Amino acid sequence: MAQSVRVCSVADIEEEDVMRFDHGDQTFAIYRCPDGAFFATDGYCTHEGAHLGDGIVDGYEIECPLHFGAFDYRNGEPTVAPACVRLKTFPATVEDGAVFITID
């Protein structure tokens, strides 16, 4: 069953930045894009398992800190090799100044 989980306040993530979020046994990467919207993906790169929370956000892409592959964090699609397997994405919303993700 899907559940909505509070991640942080809107002010905790700057535009074009990423943060790590752990909930139970799951790890996520939470992004704030240039237009201020929020997105969430699985926290680990599908190539070698590096944590994307340590990566670099450039526009709508997250670059993995290990081998520099990249993904479009809005839909999880790989954009730069060696990343080739899509990231799982999770809906992110903002309510009363807080960021929430929906986890299934």
Side chain identity, residue 30: I
pLDDT digits (tens), the chain, 104 positions: 889 999 999 999 999 999 999 999 999 999 999 999 999 999 999 999 999 999 999 999 999 999 999 999 999 999 999 999 999 999 999 999 999 999 98
Confirm if 90 and 73 have CB atoms less than 8 A apart: no
**Domains, the chain, with CATH or none:** 3-103 (2.102.10.10)
State how far the Cα of 57 lies from the Cα of 7, in Å rounded to an integer.
Answer: 19
The DSSP annotation for 6-48 comes to EEEEGGGS-TTEEEEEEETTEEEEEEE-TTS-EEEEESB-TTT
Quick one: tokens of 75? 């839909």
